[in-house]
Amino acid sequence: MKQNRRNFLKTIGIAGAAAAGLKTNEAIAAPESILSDERMGVLVDTTVCIGCRKCEWACKLEHDLPTPPIGEYEDRSVFKNMRRPDKGSLTVVNEYENPSNPKGPIDVKVNCLHCDHPACVSACIVGAISKRENGAVVWNTDKCIACRYCMVACPFQIPAFEYDTALQPDILKCDFCYDRSKEGKIPACIEICPVEAMTYGKRYEIIELAHKRINREPDRYIDHVFGEHEAGGTSWVYLASRGFDALDFPKVGNKPMPGTSESIQHAIFAYFIPPFALYALLGGIMWLSKNNADSEEET
């Protein structure tokens, strides 16, 4: 019996040490996500965009995706159906009717909004996605196991997957031209835009600029900067002349997407106290009930 009890304590001790090790390792291995105050942002002014889709072309070229000649992008029939980013294109432009000006449709460029509190970063089982200092949410192929939980988590439905690849399929999403930014260049789509529909700068300046534009021309815009608060804030923010619902922006609320799930996760594993309390409780019950069973047998 004594032997057993000592074993019992020893085992618990070892498990405890293992858990302590777990904690420190986690700090090292956790994804290098940073929410920098100086992160960059982009203001997309949908009232300026003319739907030339040069950004789509430049994006494909930049990311080594199959790129049709630029002449083909003049074909406006693609606007008949709503398109979404997929394995072949990380950004697409969709066109919507403009009730106040039938001749000037509203064009909306769609790509990853680079959330301040990204659901995909929180969800990723191996921490393959991270929020970088410049604001970019970047996917790392070396860690990814392609479980597609990021796609389940993303409220904007951005990550795409190579379903027809058997070996080493990728998750694809806009990376804010992370490699270009390291060389001090601005994203390819913004660089090529002929009408400057997008403005690149520090996020706090971008937000300021957005409100300035609304104040200057209150008839041109609705008083809403999409992405300022949505999903806890995004790096890319939008201005529009009509409600964002009508432009197929999803209703996501203003709470960061990972909020609830992370607080549950952290409550269950608060310093590993709940699991060990349960372990100790069950151990106690086991010990007591064993003694009961033994004494019953003796009598």
Partner 1 sequence: MNEALKPTPISKKFITPGVIVIILVAANGLMFLLVRFLFGLGSMTNLDNQYPWGLWIAVDVAAGVALAAGGFTTAALGHVMHKEYYHAIIRPALLTAMLGYTFVAFGVVVDIGRPYLVWHPLVYWNGNSALFEVGICVMTYMTVLYIEFLPIVTERFIGKVNMPGMLSRLNKLVEWLLRILDKGLSKVMFAFIIAGVVLSCLHQSSLGTLMIIAGPKMHPLWQTPILPLLFLLSAIAVGFPMVIFESLIASHSLGLKPEKEILSRLSTYVAPFLGVYLAFKIGDIVIRETFVYLTELNVVSILFFVEVVIGVVVPLRMFLSRAVRKSTVGIFVASALVIFGVLLNRINNFVTAYTPSYSMGQTYFPSIGEISVTVGFVALLVLLYRACVMIFPVISTPHKVTISKSKYSIRGASK
Candidates 141, 233, 208; CA nearest to 178 is: 141
Q: Within 134-256, where are the H helices?
A: 149-153, 178-182, 188-192, 203-216
Candidates 131, 51, 100; CA nearest to 221 is: 100
Min dist. Cβ of residue 121 to partner 1 (A): 8
Closest to partner 1 by CB, 5 vs 185, is: 5
- Which window, 69-77, 126-134, 194-202, 203-211, contacts partner 1 (CB under 8 A)? 126-134
Amino acid code (one letter) for 10: K
For residue 8, state whether it binds partner 1 (rule: CB under 8 A): yes
Min dist. Cβ of residue 214 to partner 1 (A): 26
Could you give the 3-state DSSP secondary structure of residue 276?
A: helix
Footprint of partner 1 on residues 243-272 (CB under 8 A)? 248, 250-253, 257-258, 260-262, 264-265, 268-269
- Which window, 48-56, 142-150, 199-207, 232-240, contacts partner 1 (CB under 8 A)? 142-150
Residue 66's CB is within 10 A of a number of other CB atoms, namely 7
Closest to partner 1 by CB, 6 vs 212, is: 6
The DSSP 8-state label assigned to residue 158 in this structure reads -
Binding-residue pattern over the window 145 to 164 for partner 1, x denoting contact by CB under 8 A: xxxxx-xxx-xxx-xxxxxx
For residue 90, state whether it binds partner 1 (rule: CB under 8 A): no
- Number of residues in contact with partner 1, rule: CB under 8 A? 73
User: Locate tokens 């021309």: which residue?
Assistant: 217
For residue 279, state whether it binds partner 1 (rule: CB under 8 A): yes
Amino acid code (one letter) for 105: P
Is residue 36 within 8 A of residue 233, CB to CB? The reply is no
Closest to partner 1 by CB, 13 vs 218, is: 13
